[in-house]
Amino acid sequence: MDIKGARQLFQELITKEDPGLLIRYWDGSTQRLGGDELEATVHIKRPDVIDEIVKEPSLGFGEAYMRGDIDIDGDLGAILSIAYRRDLFSRLSLGKKTRFCWLKFSGKHSISHCKRDVQRHYDKGNEFYRLWLDKEMNYSCAYFEREDQDLETAQKNKNLHILKKLRLKPGHRLLDIGCGWGALIRLAATKFGVEAVGLTLSREQKALGDKRILDEGLGDRCEIRLQDYREVPRREQGTYDRLVSVGMFEHVGREKYKVFFRRAYELLKENGLFLLHTISRLKPQDTDPWICTYIFPGGYIPSIGQVLEAAHDAGFRLVDIEDLRRHYALTLMAWLKRFEAAKGKISEMMGEEFIRMWRLYLVGSRVSFSEGGMYVSQFLFEKGDTGEIPLTRAWMHCDSTSP
């Protein structure tokens, strides 16, 4: 695309209500657009970059930014907020739509595929995640009592909030599907006196999680398995009082929702509770192609309706839904701040292109929760009728850790 065409394109796309931008083209010329206050300068270094973005907005922009063919001075989030407001990144070419449709029915979420996909994201090394997550290495939305609360406290809040919802009692058996590094099951064992089993497909997560369990003397109450939820032995059917899954459902795949909930229902005792914490949407939508290619291969964000339908079909009854969208925006801001503070070390480990890729992932995710159509939903389901859930939500938010 030539300069004239590029100028016309951005003139039509960016209005005075958008963040103030200065676009610097490959020939040195500039274009001032958006609001009065300048928030970012966009350097477009090659003319074919714009053609790539027009053809595939998400992939084109993401790959150009990763390569350095587009550079941003100032707030990267200001650029992404325009894309989310215009819903630009949801556009897919016919070829891309065909490819994603094929993936739905290609066995993408078989056990072997899920293991490879999860390990590709989570087995980047525990040292990498240690540099920007909280000390317990919780890699999901935190729960903030106020906006300036520190991340460590907010992540512990989240785990306690989940465990209170599950109304745990000493002696209960808890299964955590997608346990990460094991922070939730260790807290459940120490604070609530339960026996906890965690499942992960990441070797790195299991190795560190096992070490922490041993260091804390919890080997008789906690166990982490390198195991898919479909691989839990049949002899364990109906042996768990409580089930929980935090930030794992995004990897299940929509064609496997019925399988997931049916297996959860089988593993849970009668009158048991199941809490599912997942990123969600209001309406079904294909996965962003850049995210699916570079960050979460095989990932799919469910709509709230898809979750409820699959859970209902498996036999679960809905008890409660809570949205944590604003909490995830705050979580991502905290992660991004820590990531940028550690980018020197991370660059030595992963390289500069990885820095740009991960930054785009964190900033884009923050904007998607603060301005886009992304949510975080906590669903509480019951198997049968427990008869013990109070009529109001006060019990979920009390200071006491007892159910």
pLDDT for 84 equals: 85
pLDDT reading at 341 higher than 80: yes
pLDDT for 102 equals: 43
pLDDT for 123 equals: 63
pTM, two decimal places: 0.92
- Mean pLDDT over residues 59-85, rounded? 93
Question: pLDDT (tens digit, 9 = 90+) per residue, 271-300?
Answer: 999 999 999 999 998 888 999 889 988 889
Chain position carrying tokens 């714009």? 50
pLDDT reading at 314 higher than 80: yes
pLDDT reading at 238 higher than 50: yes
- Which CATH architecture best describes the domain 111-397? 3-Layer(aba) Sandwich (3.40)
- Mean pLDDT over residues 216-237, rounded? 97
Would you tell me which CATH number, out of the four given (3.30.360.10, 3.30.1050.10, 1.10.1200.10, 1.20.120.1200), belongs to the domain 3-90? 3.30.1050.10
Going from N- to C-terminal start, the domains of the chain cover 3-90, 111-397
Question: pLDDT (tens digit, 9 = 90+) per residue, 239-273?
Answer: 999 999 999 999 999 999 999 999 999 999 999 99
Cα-based angle 64, 67, 73 (whole degrees, multiple of 5): 75
